[in-house]
Each structure stands twice: as structure tokens, then as C-alpha cells.
Structure 1
Amino acid sequence: MKKVLIITSYFPPETGAASNRIFHLAEGLKSHDFNVSVLTPLPNYPTGQIFKAYKGRFKHTSSENGIIINRLWIYASNSKNKLLRLIAMLSYSLSLVWFFMWNKMPKTVIVQSPPLLVAFTCMLFLKSKKRQLILNVSDLWPIAGLELGAFKKNFSYNVLERIEHFNYKRADLVLGQSEEILSHITSIYSEKKTFLYRNFPDFKSPNLYENPPHEKLKIVYAGLLGIAQGIYKLCQELDYSTIEFHIYGSGAEQAKIETYILNHPELPIVYHGQVSRSELHEVLLQYDITIIPLLKRIYGSVPSKIFEYAKLGLPMLYFGGGEGESIIKKHELGWVAEAGNYHNLNAIINSIELNMISEDLRKKIVENGKKEFDFKNQLERLKAII
């Protein structure tokens, strides 16, 4: 049984797309006869504080569903202060180096990127002719940070760009979850071996059913309430004449969203807090459609929600541009509104009639998703090259 180590900055019980993506990869590889272990920080995301069950520990090792998980110390922080965030990444990088020094590494290692600095640490210390280093790129940094306004083109940006290129150069294989990511990498290293790995999750879908009759279109958002998603602005811009808006999750904008709802009791906006992923899968099916917004179009980014909701048969309204928009259109997974155009968004919403949200539509979404992104087929192809 071939051994594979996955190094990631996010893993359950943490929530969010990054955690779910790596969890499914680990479970999938295990089901395909790999001996899988995971190296990750003590759980702290998105709160920026070590979870209660892990406080006071320097390291925690457990076996979960046959996967060995080593959780290492980190100086946890979700501060907006760039220096504190840098210290947090450096602390985990130092923990990784300490682990590398005292433990034998398997011949196949998958490294999650971003964060760039963590990936850089792995690429620098683990490169060997006898080892296959696989870089799993879910977002293009520092480009994404530039587009989000987090970075400016200066000396620091140039340093991050050099780190990015170093990581690609050292990788024996690069996994990318979008065509744009792979195009970007091959534009830098034309001969680099790449693999398109869509994050289509492998879980048992809840039974599909038609919702009981109701008067307004029930729209749901579930996920990170961060700056990039722009849920606070969405609350302000939506036309509520024909809809209800329901929100699940946590993040930087949570307090602002809760305050906005409190100050506008006349609006049909409901914040439900955060629920477990398995519970969320059941809960989501009571809604008519889900919205997937991005405040700005981010080159290379394809929200993992697309693949998860396709598995659930949940019709999507995509509002973020880029490759995600093309996927929704091409595979008939829902509706698309022009990125950043709230007038167009409201017009699209007003065009969606309740009788369009049928059981047949949900089944079609499930079938299209399975046909195009089937998780097991992806893993079979991946298994052949690692």
C-alpha cells in the first residue's frame, strides 16, 4: 500500500472550502488503496483561536477513519494585521521543519497552496530525487491578493511572486482546480506536469424532494462570511420584493451582517449561524436556490461550492464571473448574473419563478455534475500518475 502524506493549513474539524477539499482528497485516496496521513495545524480557523479541545497542546496525533492526523502547534490569529498573520504562517512553518527533522517522510507528499509560505517551506525542505512532491493549487497567490486589494505591486509582492514561482519549479506535479490555474502555471513553466482536479465531493446525497408551497423565492448562502464573498453588500443591494434571504456561516463580516439585520427588521433576511457540514447538506435542500457570490472576479478561482451543490442537486445563482460562470452555463447548473452588476442580479432573480424549481431540475443538476466531475473517475486518473 503506497504511503501519501498531505500537508495542509486547513482540515476538519475546521470548516470551509479549503478544509472540505483536503478532507475529500484524503478520504478519496484512502478508498483507492493509499496509506494516507495528514499534517496540519491545531484547529483554529476561522476564529483565529485554537479550538477548546486542543488548547494547551504542542502536538496532537489521532487516527480518524484509518487516516493518521498529526496536528502541530501554530500561533493562531485571524487578525487583519499583516505582521500577525505572517507570524502565524511562520509559526506553522517552523513546526513543519521540526516535524520533518524528527520523522521519516513518505516518497509521495501532497502540499496545499496557498498559503505560499507554508508551501515554500515544504518545497524547500522536502525536495529529493527519491520523493514525488505534488503541489495542490486551489487559488493563485499573490495574483488573487492583488485583485482583492490585499496587495500592491511593490517589493513585497515581488517576493511573494518569486516564492510562487519557486514552488511551481520544485513541484514534480501540480494539481489545479481550474483551467485558469493550470494555464497560469504552464505560462511560467511550459513543461510542468499538471492535472485538473475538480473538488467534486464524495458523500451520500440526501434524498431530493420538492419543497412545500410558499410565496417567495427562498435564497440561501452558506459559507465563509469574508471580504471576498461580499455578503454584507449583498444584503444591502438585494431586491426583497419576491425573495427571502437566508445566511449560514461565519467570518470577518459576520458582526456587520448581524447588525444590519438588527437595524432592518422589515427585511426578510435570516442569519442562522454556523452548522455542521452534514447538517448543512440536509438544511440546504429546504431552499429553492443558492447564491454563490464573489465581490470581485478573481483569476483562477472556482468556488468549491459549485461542485458540492451539484452533488446536492441545488440550483445555483452564480455572481462572480470567471471560470465558475462558464461552468454553471456549460453544465446547466443554474443561472448566472453579471459579476458586480447588482441591477442585473436582481433582474435575474425576478425572472426565476417558483415553478421552475422542480424535482426534475434538481435531478438534472445531480446527473450533469456526476457526468462532468465524478470524484471516483478523477481519483482513478490521479492514481495512475502518483
Structure 2
Amino acid sequence: KLYFDVNDLWPEALPIRNFEWLPVFTAWKRLRDKNLPAADQVFVECELFLEGLKPDREYTVLHFARSQRPMPIHTRLNPETVDLVYLGSINNIIDINLIRNITKAIVKIKPTRFHIIGEGETKARLISELNDTGAQVIDHGILFDPEEKQKVFDQCDYGLNIVKPNVMVGLTMKSLDYMIGGLPMLNSIGGDTEKLVREYDLGFNVDRSHLEDLAREICEENPEKAFSRRYNMQKVYMDFFSEETFFNTLDEAGL
């Protein structure tokens, strides 16, 4: 038996659109589309990828998963501030302009602290843009230890899951970290994540045209409702992205 697992779409996932039809990029696409029909079964990381693949066969959605159990939630939120966190690689697919504009809208209403866990080639620019908004930037560097990350998450109201609008991404690994830690999201990713946030009340899907409304909702939201989202995040993780769910999907596929 031959099985394929599609974890990214290239060139569709490139953060730029001016160069995706160059021969080197189209060769990737042709290689993929030519050989997928040879497989006995094809798994895809998320439903969004079905839009970029030829609908001439049946695909099985196999979300990536973690073996980690959800972390205990011991929030230490400061009611006088809004605390945001960005976790992960700070690279050219994250939308720094949108992160800046979200933060700027919140700062106008309430003092804001922005935590950063991670490194990357655009980190200096991100910090500079955030400083310009008036937010207090707290750089934690790289944290691998789950308990250390959780100490930061417990201080924060939302984790940012923000990428540029032309990037074809349906799920991110950072969103699993947020789920494990019970940290609601501010999300700009379409497809699977947008649907989960909407249907299971995991935070807010960001409307780029109404950031002032988003900031007002964040600053004025009911604390009990905000706290319930933390448990929603962990339940969605266990239902869709746990190791048990992963292997159950493989069992149902006959592996």
C-alpha cells in the first residue's frame, strides 16, 4: 500500500504571489498533482487543503497531533491591563502590520502588555512596531519547557494566531500550544481554525475592517465568558488534536 500525507501546499502556501508561477515553484505543484493519484490513500493536514488539490479522489483529514496532556489553568490576569502573547517563529509569513494594528486599537482603550515567546528574522521589526503602539513589550526569548510557557499563558488574555492573508494555512502548531495551555486565540487564519474558533467559542476571528470593534469587545468582555473559553480550548484539543484522536483516525482509515 502507498500512503501520502499532505502537510503543506506549495506554491499555494508561499507568502508572496508575484513569484509562485516561476518554473521552480510550478514544478513542485506538478510533481504533487501527478503522483497523488498513484496512492492508495491520501491524508491531508486540514480541510482547507482540499481547495488546492484536484477533487478526483477521496481524501482523509488527519490533523497533526500532540501526545501532551492539557496543562492546569491557574490564571493570574491583571484586570487593569490586556495581555497578549505571540508564540513561535517570527518570520515572513506572520502579519506584523495586522499585529501592530490590533495592539494599537487595544492600547487606545486599555494599557496593553505584549509578550513574545520565540525568535526569527523579523523579530526586531515586530518589537519596533509594537513599541510604536505604546504597548509594553516583554520578550521571553525561546521557551521549550511547557511549565515555563504556561506561566506566561496564565498571565495572558489571548494568544495571537496571525498570518498574512494570502498564505494558504488552515492550522498552525502554535494554535495547539494555545489549546494545550487553555489560552483563547485572536485568529486570522481561515479554513479549519476559523471554523473551530467560531463554532466552539475559542476567541475571536479577526476582521481586519473592524479592529476598533474587536478591541472594544476584548476590553469590555465578561470575565466569566472569557474564562470559559480557556476550557473550550482544551476540550477542542482533546477532541481534534490529541494523540488518541490521531490514532483513531488511522484506525478508521484501516491502517
TM beyond 0.5: yes
Show the counterpart of 2:64: 199
- In structure 1, how many angstroms separate the alpha carbons of the residues matched to 2:141 and 2:118? 6
Show the counterpart of 2:239: 371
- In structure 2, how many angstroms separate the alpha carbons of the residues matched to 1:337 and 1:237? 9
Asked if the contact 2:86/2:115 (under 8 Å) is kept, the reply is: yes
Determine which of 212, 216, 233 is the counterpart of 2:81: 216
Matched pairs, number: 247
Show the counterpart of 2:116: 247
Show the counterpart of 1:91: none
Q: Measured at CA, do residues 298 and 260 of structure 1 come closer, stay the same or move farther in structure 2, by a change above 3 Å? A: closer
Query: What is the one-letter code of the residue matched to 2:211?
Result: L
Q: Measured at CA, do residues 277 and 357 of structure 1 come closer, stay the same or move farther in structure 2, by a change above 3 Å? A: farther
Show the counterpart of 1:152: 20
Show the counterpart of 2:154: 285
Q: Percent identity?
A: 21
- In structure 1, how many angstroms separate the alpha carbons of the residues matched to 2:46 and 2:31? 21
Q: Secondary structure at the match of 2:52?
A: helix
Residue 210 (structure 2) pairs with residue 344 (structure 1): yes
Matches within 5 A, 1:118-157: 132-145=1-14, 148-149=16-17, 151-157=19-25
Show the counterpart of 1:229: 94
Show the counterpart of 2:179: 310
- In structure 1, how many angstroms separate the alpha carbons of the residues matched to 2:143 and 2:18? 29
Larger radius of gyration: 1
Q: Measured at CA, do residues 232 and 251 of structure 1 come closer, stay the same or move farther in structure 2, by a change above 3 Å? A: farther
Determine which of 339, 349, 362 is the counterpart of 2:230: 362
The structure with the greater share of residues assigned to strand is 1
Asked if the contact 2:238/2:245 (under 8 Å) is kept, the reply is: no
* Greater relative contact order (CA < 8 Å, ≥ 6 in sequence): 2
Show the counterpart of 1:58: none
Q: Measured at CA, do residues 167 and 312 of structure 1 come closer, stay the same or move farther in structure 2, by a change above 3 Å? A: farther
Determine which of 23, 34, 37 is the counterpart of 1:169: 37
Asked if the contact 1:319/1:337 (under 8 Å) is kept, the reply is: yes
- In structure 1, how many angstroms separate the alpha carbons of the residues matched to 2:38 and 2:227? 48
- Which stretch shows the higher mean deviation, 299-308 or 223-232? 299-308
- In structure 1, how many angstroms separate the alpha carbons of the residues matched to 2:196 and 2:229? 17
- Which stretch shows the higher mean deviation, 363-372 or 136-145? 363-372
Matches within 5 A, 1:47-62: none
Query: What is the one-letter code of the residue matched to 1:274?
Result: I
Q: Measured at CA, do residues 372 and 160 of structure 1 come closer, stay the same or move farther in structure 2, by a change above 3 Å? A: closer
Q: Alpha-carbon deviation of 1:246?
A: 1.4
Residue 181 (structure 2) pairs with residue 276 (structure 1): no
- In structure 1, how many angstroms separate the alpha carbons of the residues matched to 2:48 and 2:120? 27
Q: Measured at CA, do residues 256 and 373 of structure 1 come closer, stay the same or move farther in structure 2, by a change above 3 Å? A: closer
Q: Alpha-carbon deviation of 1:308?
A: 3.4
Q: Measured at CA, do residues 229 and 150 of structure 1 come closer, stay the same or move farther in structure 2, by a change above 3 Å? A: farther
Q: Measured at CA, do residues 232 and 376 of structure 1 come closer, stay the same or move farther in structure 2, by a change above 3 Å? A: same
Q: Secondary structure at the match of 2:113?
A: strand
Asked if the contact 2:43/2:60 (under 8 Å) is kept, the reply is: yes
Q: Measured at CA, do residues 197 and 290 of structure 1 come closer, stay the same or move farther in structure 2, by a change above 3 Å? A: same
Asked if the contact 2:82/2:157 (under 8 Å) is kept, the reply is: yes
Asked if the contact 1:210/1:358 (under 8 Å) is kept, the reply is: no
Q: Alpha-carbon deviation of 1:199?
A: 2.4
Query: What runs of 5+ residues in structure 1 fail to find an aligned partner?
Result: 1-131
